[in-house]
Amino acid sequence: MPRKIPGASNVHGHGAIRHNGAVQIWKPHSLAKPHDGQINLKIGDRVRVISDVPSSDDVQASAGTEGKVILANGFNWQRYRVLFDNGAEVGDLDHRHLEPIGRTAKRLDRQAKKAARTG
């Protein structure tokens, strides 16, 4: 086991490695323009599918099935991968397929009202 020498730096010449704090959330690129009706979901948000969507699994995600966003990505087209409560996992879903529910819907309503007041 290596000895620890007080005041010594690591191999890169820096002091002790410390916790980096919270991970930065990246803002959208200035050239990215949202589509009409686009929703801004985050990982962990609860959603409901509004139309039947095909799944590569044996399980179908039919209209009304609820689930949780497990991946949110996109530059100009925000799309989401959702793990549904019935076990289906479907990617490339957007505002045409999903509607927010519960706390997610309330958060998005608050954001829309705030944007309407300021914009």
Q: What is the pLDDT of residues 8-59, one digit of tens each?
A: 555 555 555 555 556 556 666 666 666 777 888 999 999 999 998 887 777 8
In this prediction, residue 38 carries a pLDDT of 85
98 phi/psi in degrees, rounded to 5: -120, 150
Domain count, the chain: 1
Residue 55 maps to a domain: yes
**Class of residue 88 by CB neighbours under 10 A (exposed 0-12, middle 13-18, buried 19+):** buried
Residue 92 maps to a domain: yes
Any idea which residue has 């919270």 for tokens?
22
pTM (predicted TM-score): 0.69
Beta strands in the chain (DSSP E): 46-49, 66-73, 79-84, 89-93, 98-100
Q: How confident is the model at residue 92 (pLDDT cuts 50, 70, 90)?
A: very high
Position with higher pLDDT, 32 vs 78? 78
Residue 104 maps to a domain: yes
Which range marks the domain in which residue 92 is found?
Answer: 46-118
In this prediction, residue 64 carries a pLDDT of 94
In this prediction, residue 53 carries a pLDDT of 87
